[in-house]
Amino acid sequence: MDHYKVCVTQSLSHHIELNEEDVRLLAELEEGPTNVKKHTDLWEAGKPAEKLYTLRSGWAFAFHCTEDGQQQILDIYVPGDLLGIRDVTFEHHYTSARMLTDGVICPFPTERLHHIFGRSPKLAMGLHAAAAWQQMVIMDRLVNVLSHNAKARIAHFTLEIYYRLKRIGADVENGYSLPITQKQISMLLGISEVHLSRSISELEEMNLLRKTRKKLQVLDIDRLSELARFTPERFNDELNPLLQVW
């Protein structure tokens, strides 16, 4: 059986080793791949949390709507990410989520999660580890915003995406595509659109990176890492060996 025909296996294989039986169980539970268009809503804040999704290809983002109609970007998803693990243990969605590009998703109905927990402790642990990994990324982003100025925040963001894409085997050496607007980046980083534009220009003049409308290239990873105090070891997501007992 081709493991990667089951979408969620890609996400979980970062954390646990899957055997044939695990893959069979997941295949039973997961719904087939679905094509989704750019701007498709995956879920909406306040609605029941009925599914989680594997993002097989394409980008997506999570957001809040503020009362004045603006949307506050909260999170960004790249191919291979597991979407909605946070929301799915609550009765209602905490965020809304929408596709940034065309893509392929594999839905996984919430109520089938208890089959995972009931029939395969290892898979349950893998899911839990994936959630913990996501929490670490968010924590890392919080630290970034709490302690860095605009240029360092941009450097950190650049490297976070760089390593997340590298983790799923993408070619990032010659720049990676970044299908979000500067307005959206500015919200992720807590700075204004205008100041973001200026700060990116400064980083380009320093020869640290180069950004075009839809692409971002890392030019000097060492100086970027120093500026953002970014250590990629955090992204190593080996499961604690104390938990690997099966």
Among 99, 144, 211, 235, binds DNA (CB under 7 A): 211
230 C-beta neighbours (distance < 10 Å), count: 22
Map residues 158-187 to x or -, x wherever contact with DNA holds by CB under 7 A.
-----------------------xxx----
Query: Minimum distance between the CB of residue 33 and a second copy, rounded to whole angstroms?
Result: 22
**What is the distance between the alpha carbons of residues 177 and 31, in angstroms, rounded to a whole number?**
29
Which of DNA, a second copy, none sits in contact with 243, Cβ below 5 to 8 A by type? a second copy
Tell which phi-psi region holds residue 224, choosing left (phi > 0), alpha (psi between -120 and 50) or beta.
alpha
Binding of residue 4 to a second copy (CB under 8 A): no
DSSP 3-state of 234: helix
Binding of residue 214 to DNA (CB under 7 A): yes
192 C-beta neighbours (distance < 10 Å), count: 13
Closest CA to 100 of 188, 208, 32, 12: 188
DSSP code at position 164:
H
Cβ proximity of 11 and 84 under 8 Å: no
Binding of residue 154 to DNA (CB under 7 A): no
Residues 128-187 that bind a second copy (CB under 8 A): 128-129, 131-136, 138-139, 141-143, 145-147, 187
Closest CA to 230 of 158, 133, 146: 158
DSSP 3-state of 184: helix
Phi, psi of 38 (to 5 degrees): -45, 140
Query: Minimum distance between the CB of residue 137 and a second copy, rounded to whole angstroms?
Result: 10
Residues 97-126 that bind DNA (CB under 7 A): none
Among 100, 150, 165, 228, binds DNA (CB under 7 A): 150
Query: Minimum distance between the CB of residue 160 and a second copy, rounded to whole angstroms?
Result: 13
Among 193, 215, 229, 231, binds DNA (CB under 7 A): 193
Binding of residue 201 to DNA (CB under 7 A): yes
Cβ proximity of 8 and 106 under 8 Å: yes
Binding of residue 71 to DNA (CB under 7 A): no
Write down the residue that tokens 């990116």 correspond to. Answer: 200
For residue 159, give Cα distances in angstroms to 61, 113, 155, 166, 188: 18, 33, 6, 10, 14
Query: Minimum distance between the CB of residue 6 and DNA, rounded to whole angstroms?
Result: 32
Among 3, 13, 33, 49, binds a second copy (CB under 8 A): 49
Give residues in contact with a second copy (CB under 8 A): 15, 48-50, 64, 66-67, 72, 74-75, 85-86, 88-91, 94-95, 110-111, 113-114, 117-118, 121-122, 124-125, 127-129, 131-136, 138-139, 141-143, 145-147, 187-190, 229, 234, 237-243, 245-246
